[in-house]
Amino acid sequence: MVMGVVKGKLAKVMYGSVKIAGLSTWSMSGYEPQTLEDTEFGDTVQAFVFGGAGNPGNVTFSGNYDSADPNGQDAFSAACKAEVPLTNLYFYETATKYWAVAPGGEILPTKCDAIVMERNALGKIDFAGKISAAVMTRYGT
């Protein structure tokens, strides 16, 4: 029986209509509902209930450093340094299915230009963002 597996080799991260070059990994931490403690005097184990605002999570992406990617790696880094929230960052799992922040939300770039250079390896770079005001939503077919 074949399950709905997704091969990572088709994945990519798009900043607007531009593919960010060199990337080999992206991840989303996922949505976390807020829980509130609801323990009373006499309880011997803590009790919790759902309440308040949930945490929409974080996104991270990384790969090979590309110093000649002005519209991808450099553009995201510029938005990060200028503290510009983004609504046009897309995380593709296949050629037609992708994740993006839902309408009304944004991604705050929180990490850029985290570069590692090793003597016998390609340079690596890491990026991150905090999802705000909406959850990540899957689009496409």
pLDDT, mean over the chain:
95
Give the span between the Cα atoms of 113 and 127, in whole angstroms.
7
Indicate the pTM of the whole model.
0.90
In a domain, 106, yes or no: yes
Judged against a pLDDT cut of 60, whether residue 95 lies above it is answered with yes
State the CATH number of the domain containing residue 62.
Answer: 2.30.110
Q: Does 2 fall in a domain?
A: no
Lowest mean pLDDT among 1-15, 19-33, 57-71, 121-135: 1-15
With a cut of 70, say whether residue 119 has pLDDT above it: yes
In a domain, 85, yes or no: yes
Instruction: For residue 52, give both structure tokens.
Output: 């308040």
- Res. 2 pLDDT band, cuts 50 70 90: low
Is 1 domain-assigned?
A: no
Give, as one character, the DSSP assignment of residue 49: E
| pLDDT given at position 4 | 78
User: Could you tell me if residue 79 is inside a domain?
Assistant: yes
Q: Does pLDDT of 1 surpass 60?
A: no
**Domains: count for the chain:** 1
Residue 66 within a domain: yes
Task: Please name which of 96, 24, 106, 8 lies closest in space to residue 61, comparing C-alpha atoms.
Answer: 24
Alpha carbon of residue 70 to chain centroid: 20
Distances (CA, A) of 104 to 33, 47, 75, 115: 18, 33, 22, 32
Candidates 112, 107, 110; CA nearest to 135 is: 107
Residue 3 lies in a domain: no
Residue 64: inside a domain? yes
The domain of 101 spans: 8-140
pLDDT of residue 20: 97
pLDDT digits (tens, 9 = 90+) for 53-93: 999 999 999 999 999 999 999 999 999 999 999 999 999 99
Q: Where are the beta strands (DSSP E) in the chain?
A: 12-15, 18-19, 23-28, 35-37, 48-50, 58-64, 89-92, 97-101, 106-116, 124-132, 136-140
What's the pLDDT at 39? 95
Burial (CB count <10 Å: 0-12, 13-18, 19+), residue 48: exposed
